């Protein structure tokens, strides 16, 4: 079972699951911008009804907590981290996800 901490919500799982599906079999992560995430999980897959702005905000939050990483070579492009993959597989303890102000 995945740990859930107060700063997380269901959209976070949806974003992380989508990015995990994109990971290359050889292990290289795929980078993608928030607008493309929105188009895929809302318009194409109907996995959420959230706005593009909300998805972008949640991706930034996941970045701040180490579940996503970002490159800004051509705008904000995010990819899932090892910690993000560990969260999805239930290999991470909830204490590792808490913010400094929650500890």
CATH code, domain with 43: 1.10.10.10
Q: Are 34 and 78 in contact (CB under 8 A)?
A: yes
Write down the pTM of the prediction.
0.88
Q: What share of the chain is helix, strand, coil (3-state, %, to 5)?
A: 50, 10, 40
Which residues fall within 8 angstroms of residue 55, CB to CB, at 6 or more apart? 11, 15, 34, 37, 38, 41, 42, 48
Q: Which two tokens stand for residue 22?
A: 């994109």
Task: Indicate the pLDDT class of residue 98, thresholds 50, 70 and 90.
Answer: confident
Do 62 and 20 meet the contact criterion of CB atoms below 8 Å apart?
no
Is 70 exceeded by the pLDDT of residue 81?
yes
Token pair recorded at residue 38: 């929105």
3 in any annotated domain: no
Residue 76 domain-assigned (yes or no):
yes
Mean pLDDT score, 50-78: 92
Average pLDDT of the residues in 32-39: 95
Q: Mean pLDDT lowest for which of 2-6, 83-87, 88-92, 98-102?
A: 98-102
Domains held by the chain: number: 1
Tell me, yes or no, whether 100 lies in a domain: no
Q: What is the mean pLDDT of the chain?
A: 87
Q: Do the beta carbons of residue 48 and residue 11 sit within 8 Å?
A: yes
What range defines the domain where residue 52 resides? 10-95
Q: 3-class DSSP state for residue 1?
A: coil
Q: Which two tokens stand for residue 68?
A: 């996503």
Q: Is a pLDDT exceeding 70 seen at residue 42?
A: yes
């Amino acid at each position: 079972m995945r740990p859930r901490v107060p700063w997380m919500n269901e959209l976070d799982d949806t974003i992380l699951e989508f990015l995990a599906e994109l990971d290359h079999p050889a292990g290289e992560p795929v980078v993608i911008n928030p607008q493309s995430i929105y188009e895929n999980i809302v318009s194409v897959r109907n996995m959420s009804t959230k706005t593009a702005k909300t998805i972008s905000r949640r991706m930034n939050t996941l970045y701040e907590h180490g579940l996503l990483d970002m490159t800004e070579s051509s705008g904000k492009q995010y990819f899932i981290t090892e910690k993000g993959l560990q969260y999805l597989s239930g290999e991470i303890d909830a204490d590792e996800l808490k913010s400094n102000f929650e500890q």
